[in-house]
Amino acid sequence: MTPLSIEILASVLFLGLVTATPEHQDALKLREGLLVGFFLAGLVTLGSLQAYWLRPLIQSLNGNAMFFGATALTAITDNATLTYLGSLVEDIPDELKYALVAGAVAGGGLTVIANAPNPAGVGILQEAKVFEDEGISPLGLFVGALFPTAVAIVFFWLLR
């Protein structure tokens, strides 16, 4: 069996199990998962077309600029996007590769909107009782993520 046929078989078995045991299951949140899937498919499809302008930009940066730039950008763009687009640039030094990934990871919790899996998380959290009255506040989540982000910056960049 090929890996794709195993994945299809596992998906069909999962859907069959959920359908057969609805009293033990929450409703499936297919919309959020499909949004993430379409986002990632678009990234892979259109990402390779971006290499022409990324190469000179990335090669002109030093480690600090790459790390803090990636940390800041991941608050407004997806961290998977940053790292994928960075992987399209060949022959970049290991320090810049580390700075790109570490910066994307360090700043990864700064926003709900910019990270691909977060629409699924928001879909789950919106139904939680704690968010009933006011909903989820993107600004509140951003402020709440500042301290953990600062800790990640210290460990990923300053103490490496």
Q: What stretches of the chain adopt beta strand conformation (E)?
A: none
- Is 20 a member of any domain? no
pLDDT tens readout for residues 56-113: 998 899 999 999 999 998 887 878 888 888 888 888 899 999 999 999 988 887 766 5
For residue 26, give the 3-state DSSP assignment.
coil
* Distance spanning both ends of the chain, measured CA to CA: 43
- Is 116 a member of any domain? yes
- Is 93 a member of any domain? yes
Amino acid in the structure at residue 120:
A
- Is 109 a member of any domain? yes
- Is 73 a member of any domain? yes
Beta-carbon count within 10 A of 121 CB: 13
- Is 79 a member of any domain? yes
Residue 53's domain comprises 30-158
> In total, how many domains does the chain have?
1
- Is 2 a member of any domain? no
Q: What pTM was computed for the model?
A: 0.72
